Amino acid sequence: MRLFSVFQVCRVVCAGGVALFAAGAAAIAAEAPKLAVVISVDQFRGDYLARFGPYFGEGGFKRLLAGGLNFSNCHYRHSVMLTAPGHASILSGTFANVHGVTSNEWLDRATWEQVNSVEDKASPLVGIAPAELGAAAAAAPAKTGRSPANFKAETVGDELKKKFGAGTRIFAASNKDRSAILLGGGRGDAAYWDENGRFVTSRHFRPTGELPEWVKAFNAEGRAEKAFGRVWDRLLPEAVYEKAQGPDNAPGETDAAGLGTMFPRRIDGGKKAISSAYYTAYDNSPFTTEALGEFVRRAVTEEKLGRNTGTDLLCVSFSQIDTVGHNYGPDSHEVMDSVLRLDRVLAGLLDTLDREVGLARCVIVLTADHGVVPLPERTSRTDPATGAARVRTTEMDAAARKALDARFGALPTGEAWFTRDNAGVHLRPTALAAKKADATEAATLVKQAFATMPFVAEVFTRAELLAAGAEGETPLAMMRRSYRAASDRDVVYTLKPWFIAKAGSGSGHGQPYPYDQHVAMLWFGAGVPRGERTERVHVDQLAPTLAALLGVPAPAAAKSPRMF
Ligand SMILES: [Zn+2]
């Protein structure tokens, strides 16, 4: 109503289109919502809303689609399509070359140790003891500390903090630590994720070392434990899934966590009592999505989100679809059923938001961190010309070693020229020194060896990446945006489309192709027009668009234009 009257006044007073646009932007700011809700669905490909749309219920995705704006052709513009870089880009509007989060974990060149993207030794976990997270965590408890310390860009949340200070609350939750922490950003008030079915955080967010009473009470309700032995079956008749996705037990599916490859399955970890295997099985089941949905609904009430003096920010990232996508691929009954169950969870969340805040006072955006490649067993059957296959990186490494040995002299058995780090390598300074080898020449030899592999698409050396611009849509520019100049690898590469570097079974993501880069982008709520838009847009436009809707400046590194 108020927005309308501002336009009316402007039409009378000023005749120019530019002035009209300026008044429109002011009107959006005047109507700033009370709560922004950013929903990420891990591995939610851009085709899923259309593919599973006929099977949605009334209150979830359908409600957002009917009342919102669906960008059906939205893509990422960086190369390394993984969870941490995706979540770091969503609210910063920039890429790893700026925000520093190149991967889920990476090799630290100073210590030659693997570092988690949200690792912070100064910020121990709160709500769980490291020893409960398994043998590796028990052996190195400091490495379980978590915070946004490695995330170097500002987000829309930071802009809200600058404007409203204590008058805004930034709350993030996910099944994964990195997804919650990176969405919440550097000034986030709270980030929770689930470990062994409990929602936990770190000292960065809770310096007292205590969970809030409401989180303790929520955990004490024991949702994960109550789900022990629950059977996960399809919501709809099997024939519906067959028609949409093909057979349940397709070649290439993984029998992970004792769950088999077919419905129905009992969620118990293959044991008679609760064990660590059970929690892995639980993480694979949609019951973990239901628990996160309930946790977030509880948070809206307990944290009084949307009832602050400024605009609050709620970030939530659902992880389970990624887990089943890895095990069974995008064309599985498991992924379809997980999406349909998420649809029900979303319906519950929207009901809570409507009741507690009012949907007209919220702006909601739903997107994803990356997509997923179909199982190569399927692609090689439906499209044999692709040559889709599973490949082994050991073959590449052997070729590179051979080339380096031939040029500089063979290293003793048991010593290595390089250490692998994601899809690339760091040359070992000790090996280079021992053989008086020049790092740039060695990197070029590794590149040439990798490039001889029939499944490798592009190989770039550090020197090539540092000389490249981060603008444009070439494979080099996309990799440059995924590359951290100060401390990244000596050689990086991409696979040819449809190939997967995973032996045996299962699927994955991480490549600069539409099946990984095309993701959902669905807007709803205050200031959002209705409809579908089919022109190509990019995820890095989300941050400036949301900032404008909330009446705050775009984060400093978010340089892309708004989506609408
Ligand atoms: Zn994944």
Convert 305-325 to b/e letters by CB count within 10 Å (16 or more is b).
bbebebbbbbbbbbbbbbbbb
- How remote is the CA of residue 323 from the centroid of ligand 1, in Å? 6
Res. 8: pLDDT tops 80: no
Ligand 1 centroid from CA 54, angstroms: 26
pLDDT exceeding 70 applies to what percent of the chain?
Answer: 95
**CA 316 / ligand 1 centre spacing (Å):** 16
Centre of ligand 1 from the C-alpha of residue 104, in Å? 10
CA 9 to ligand 1 center in whole angstroms: 51
Q: How remote is the CA of residue 372 from the centroid of ligand 1, in Å?
A: 8
**How far apart (Å, rounded) are the C-alpha atoms in residues 145 and 116?**
10
Of 16-20, 126-130, 425-429, 473-477, which gets the smallest average pLDDT?
A: 16-20
Q: What is the mean pLDDT of residues 300-314?
A: 98
**Do the beta carbons of residue 327 and residue 334 sit within 8 Å?**
yes
pLDDT at 220: 98
Are 484 and 476 spatial neighbours (Cβ–Cβ below 8 Å)? no
pLDDT at 6 over 80: no
pLDDT category, 258, cuts 50, 70, 90?
A: confident
Q: What is the phi/psi pair of residue 95, to 5°?
A: -125, 175
- Under the banding of pLDDT at 50, 70 and 90, the label for residue 2 is very low
Query: What's the 40 CA to ligand 1 centre distance in angstroms?
Result: 13
Cα of 1 vs centre of ligand 1, distance in Å, is 44
Q: How far is CA 538 from the centre of its chain?
A: 15
Dist. CA 409 → ligand 1 center (Å): 40
Q: Give pLDDT, residue 421.
A: 97
Averaged pLDDT for residues 173-191: 98
Report the candidate in 275, 273, 247 with the shortest Cα–Cα distance to residue 262. Answer: 247
The rounded Å distance from CA 326 to ligand 1 centre is 6
Spacing, Cα 304 to ligand 1 middle (Å): 32
pLDDT at 535: 98
The mean per-residue pLDDT over the stretch 363-371 comes to: 98
In the predicted structure, residue 21 carries a pLDDT above the cut 70: no
Residue 25 has pLDDT above 80, yes or no: no
End-to-end CA distance of the chain: 20
Confidence of residue 68 (pLDDT cuts 50, 70, 90): very high
- pLDDT band at 11, cuts 50/70/90? very low
State the pLDDT at residue 473: 94
- Band of pLDDT at residue 289, cut at 50, 70 and 90: very high
Cα separation, 513 vs 45, whole angstroms: 12
Instruction: Calculate how far, in angstroms, residue 43's C-alpha sits from the geometric centre of ligand 1.
Output: 6
Model-level pTM? 0.94
Q: How far is the CA of 371 from the centre of ligand 1 (A)?
A: 8
Ligand 1 centre from 373 Cα, in Å?
A: 11
Distance from C-alpha of 320 to C-alpha of 80, rounded to nearest angstrom = 21
502 CA to centre of ligand 1 in angstroms = 13
pLDDT score for 32: 80
Centre of ligand 1 from the C-alpha of residue 549, in Å:
30
Q: 236-258 burial string, b = 16+ CB within 10 Å, else e?
A: eeeebbeeebeebebebbbebbb
How confident is the model over 495-532, as pLDDT tens digits?
A: 999 999 999 999 999 999 999 999 999 999 999 999 99
Q: 211, 126 in Cβ contact below 8 A?
A: yes
CA 357 to centroid of ligand 1, rounded, Å: 33
Contact 495, 454 (CB under 8 A): no
Q: How far apart are the CA of 526 and the centre of ligand 1, in A?
A: 32
pLDDT at 31: 62
Helix ranges restricted to H, 68-149: 83-90, 96-99, 135-139
CA 109 / ligand 1 centre spacing (Å): 25
Average pLDDT over the chain reads 94
**Is pLDDT of 17 > 50?**
no
Q: How far is the CA of 83 from the centre of ligand 1 (A)?
A: 6
In angstroms, what is the span from residue 471 Cα to ligand 1's centroid? 27
Distance from the alpha carbon of residue 359 to the mean position of ligand 1, in angstroms: 31
The pLDDT value given to residue 262: 96
pLDDT at residue 9 above 70? no
Counting residues of the chain whose pLDDT is more than 90, the rounded percentage is 93
